């Protein structure tokens, strides 16, 4: 019984961890993940906007920075 | 386990590990990796120092200099290899402590694929944690084999990876207790405490910050819960947004864990070792204020070893009742 439970836990970690490893591919993917996990985290929102701009996504980057500024004012 | 079962188990776990980390080698440098990639240039004096030239991390810096000019892929592959080594050592530690081969395989495999370790492995700068963990677990194994000089060498190896590996000297009394050398453990604990007092008197005591300590304790409890259910993982958790009652509850839980470890320690079991390991490896972080954000997931790499120890306890309990 415990063998099967452990096997399931090990497989679940490996399968679900795959997506989190993907987040570490680049700064943009990392901060995309961070801002999705914590939408109220100002620093994550600022970094997300910054790296979106650096990647050439101007409209989305500016939108994210405006959202981050609004969050900052609310704190 | 029969040899065939062992081969199948190892093959399956390595396949899962390869699947989980398949995107890591093709990853770029992220976050503070560029700081470390400048380490060689700093040594040559071509760029200003960034404050990472202290001797405790010289092995970490040496490894980055050794790979200087290589693609990020090479750095990630080295990290994956180091994580594999740590997982094998963790498996051996569980085996030595509870004496059950299956617990060793399960503990090592869980540590290898555990989501909480991803930040230390996939983040190239997390290498310092991996080197520190090799030193700490290696020292524990050496003490369990009564190879004292090797233990000292392992502690030094870990500290050359990251200064936080010095916590090994506080973990080693746990191993002595597990070995039944209670008097040795008491003498070593007293020596460690005297050493801390001497060093702090020389270098200056850290300014106590109750607020910092409470947030760190809460973060440690959050990570401990994530060892069992790793949800909400992120590089930049905003602890400032946490309500005060959660910070208080987290701190209370940490104190509770410390008291539980103390109480269980009177009759050492795998569970008391797991709780003791967690509390001892986290404790310095409550007092040492680090720049930037509080506890990060990669800094929890060494405390996370308490999880395979706890799994060893569960397997040991099942074995005792003949349910395995």
> What string of pLDDT tens digits covers the 324 residues of chain B?
788 989 999 999 999 999 999 999 999 999 888 877 776 666 655 554 555 556 778 888 888 888 888 889 999 999 999 999 999 999 999 999 988 899 999 999 999 999 999 999 999 999 999 999 999 999 999 999 989 999 999 999 999 999 889 999 999 998 988 888 888 888 888 888 888 888 878 777 777 688 888 999 999 999 999 999 988 888 888 888 888 899 899 999 999 988 888 887 777 788 889 999 999 999 988 888 877 677 889 999 999 999 999 999 888 888 866 554
Interface check for B68 against chain A (CB to CB < 8 A): the answer is: no
Give the max Cα distance, chain A. Answer: 54
**H-helix or E-strand spanning residue B5:** helix B3-20
Give me the interface pTM, i.e. the ipTM: 0.90
Of the candidates B280, B253, B269, B281, which has an alpha carbon nearest to the alpha carbon of residue B309? Answer: B269
C-alpha dist (Å) from residue B119 to B82, B186, B225, B296: 14, 35, 17, 9
Which of B76, B118, B231, B322 has the most A C-beta neighbours within 10 Å, making it the best mutation to test the interface with A? B118
Reading the block at residue B254, the tokens are 């940490």
Query: What is the residue whose two structure tokens read 């914590």?
Result: A38
Interface check for B119 against chain A (CB to CB < 8 A): the answer is: yes
Contact: A30, B24; criterion CB under 8 Å? no
Contact: A47, B236; criterion CB under 8 Å? yes
Question: What is the reported pLDDT for A3?
Answer: 86
Between CA A55 and CA B28 the distance in angstroms is 14
**Helix, strand, coil % in chain B, rounded to nearest 5:** 75, 0, 25
**H-helix or E-strand spanning residue B197:** helix B182-203
For residue B113, the chain A residue with the least C-alpha distance is A14
C-alpha triplet B305, B309, B313: angle, nearest 5°: 165
Question: What is the reported pLDDT for B292?
Answer: 66
- Are the CB atoms for B187 and B171 separated by under 8 Å? no
């Amino acid at each position: 019984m415990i063998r099967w439970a452990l096997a399931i836990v090990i497989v679940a970690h490996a399968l679900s961890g795959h997506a989190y490893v993907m987040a570490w591919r680049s700064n943009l993917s990392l901060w995309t993940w961070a801002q999705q996990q914590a939408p109220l985290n100002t620093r994550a929102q600022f970094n997300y906007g910054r790296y979106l701009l650096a990647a050439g996504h101007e409209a989305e980057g500016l939108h994210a920075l405006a959202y981050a500024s609004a969050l900052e004012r609310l704190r | 386990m029969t040899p065939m079962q062992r081969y199948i188990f190892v093959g399956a776990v390595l396949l899962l590990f390869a699947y989980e980390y398949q995107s890591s080698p093709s990853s770029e440098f992220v976050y503070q990796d560029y700081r470390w990639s400048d380490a060689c240039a700093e040594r040559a004096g071509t760029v200003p120092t960034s404050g990472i030239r202290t001797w405790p991390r010289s092995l970490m810096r040496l490894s980055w200099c050794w790979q200087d000019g290589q693609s990020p892929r090479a750095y990630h592959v080295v990290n994956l290899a180091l994580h594999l080594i740590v997982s094998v050592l963790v498996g051996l530690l569980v085996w030595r402590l509870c004496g059950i081969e299956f617990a060793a395989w399960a503990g090592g495999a869980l540590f290898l694929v555990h989501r909480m370790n991803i930040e230390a492995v996939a983040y190239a700068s997390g290498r310092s944690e991996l080197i520190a963990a090799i030193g700490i677990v290696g020292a524990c194994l050496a003490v369990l084999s009564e190879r004292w000089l090797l233990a000292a060498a392992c502690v030094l190896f870990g500290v050359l990876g990251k200064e936080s590996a010095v916590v090994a000297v506080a973990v080693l009394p746990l191993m002595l207790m597990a070995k039944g050398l209670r008097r040795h453990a008491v003498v070593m604990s007293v020596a460690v405490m005297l050493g801390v007092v001497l060093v702090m008197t020389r270098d200056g005591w850290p300014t106590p910050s109750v607020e910092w300590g409470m947030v760190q304790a809460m973060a440690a409890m959050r990570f401990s819960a994530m060892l069992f259910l790793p949800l909400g993982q992120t590089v930049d958790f905003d602890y400032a947004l946490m309500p005060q009652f959660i910070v208080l509850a987290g701190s209370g839980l940490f104190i509770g864990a410390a008291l539980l470890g103390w109480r269980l320690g009177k009759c050492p079991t795998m569970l008391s070792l797991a709780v003791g390991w967690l509390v001892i490896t986290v404790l310095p972080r409550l007092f040492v204020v680090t720049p930037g954000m509080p506890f990060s997931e990669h800094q929890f790499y060494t405390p996370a070893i308490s999880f395979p120890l706890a799994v060893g306890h569960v397997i040991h309990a099942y074995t005792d009742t003949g349910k395995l």
